[in-house]
Amino acid sequence: MELLDSPIRKYAWGSRSAIAALQGRPSPAAEPEAELWMGAHPASPSRLAVSGTSLVDAIAADPEGLLGASGVARFGPRLPFLLKVLAAAQPLSLQAHPTLAQAREAHAAGHPSYVDAWHKPEMLVALTDFDALCGFRDPAVTAADLAALDVAGLEETVGALRQQDKAAALHDAVRGLLGKPDSRLVDEVVAACAARGGAYSLAPELAEQYPGDAGVIVAMLLNRVRLRPGEAVWMPAGNLHAYLRGVGVEIMAASDNVLRGGLTPKHVDVDELLRVLRFEVLDDPVTRPVDLGPGLVTWPVPVEDFTLHRAVLDPADAGTTAVRLPGGGPRIVLCVRGAVRIDDGVVPVTLAAGEAAFAPASRGALAVSGEGEVFQAATP
């Protein structure tokens, strides 16, 4: 295994304290730190700490050695997943991601909203209490909530949401709000929500950062999810979602294809967003961990690009009992608490909180010992 030197992406919505505290650096940081990227994404690849070689270049020099012959056959000479620590102090944009077929077709056609030919299903596991929007609510429930605001400009949206066909109801409501955005309507809705408070608090909260943005109303069509540490949200292709606040470990297919739906100063491609969205009700957005044995859990996902496991080492067993991490192929292990030893049978490494290491496909199963908490990203 080799220690990784991984980049931090600095976006305005990031936290000045979360990633710095995780890594044991002085806090607050000089700038907002939004995401710690661990992987071989060309935009911000990790580097092998000893040689300084980027993981992209290391893979290009020996794809089968690092990824395995079966990995190259399945995904090409590329690491198919990207692991992140995400620290949101402010809301991110409403967004969705395409299927693999949609991404390949649109990228080949030169569509400006697609930067690569890959899909981007993703999952976030909360490290702290985490606030997010994920998937559509029942449109009839949303229609009742919006109608109760008694805002004349919402009549068209409420009418759309009251259609019996739920997919058509959601499609037409989103199309109506984003197709002809009306900042005055947003202001009226925010004022009405502020007057009611309670369950209507979302719109005023979002409008503080994105005044007049139609995404403020679209967000009211979604499930608001408050995760406890260890709980997750799973975002397959077509799922409209947004992170609002909190710190989590995020794993995704290694792509940067994003179709935005609001809460952003960036371009919103309404037509393409409507084409990729899945207009279906998501009754329970929360994905809960599945126990695999003492100290070991996973969150099953229906994709081939990645798996995620978490091992927690009990202080009482420190140095005496190891947890064996499942899976093969290329792997990245991140320590989020304590200090642990990762043994791959060849070159073990010790990780402190905020540090990560890469294991090539040629290494066997990884055994974790010590005291702390680690996440392993791998392929199934």
Residue set of the binding site for Zn(2+): 95, 97, 122, 241
Q: How far apart are CA 224 and CA 15, in angstroms?
A: 21
CB 305 within 8 A of CB 122: no
Please report, in range form, the residues annotated as the binding site.
Answer: 95, 97, 122, 241
CB 277 within 8 A of CB 238: yes
175 is catalytic: no
CA distances from 308 to 59, 65, 72, 246 (A): 21, 22, 20, 19
CA distances from 289 to 237, 267, 301 (A): 21, 36, 11
Give the dihedral of Cα atoms 87, 92, 94, 100; nearest 10 deg: -50
3-class SS of residue 101:
helix
In the block, tokens 């909360």 appear at 126
3-class SS of residue 144:
helix
- Which of 292, 296, 332, 327 minimizes the C-alpha distance to 314? 296
Q: How far apart are CA 307 and CA 55, in angstroms?
A: 20
CB 153 within 8 A of CB 188: yes
Catalytic residue among 47, 78, 137, 260: 260
Region of 170 (left: φ > 0; alpha: ψ -120 to 50; beta: rest) is alpha
Active-site amino acid positions: 260
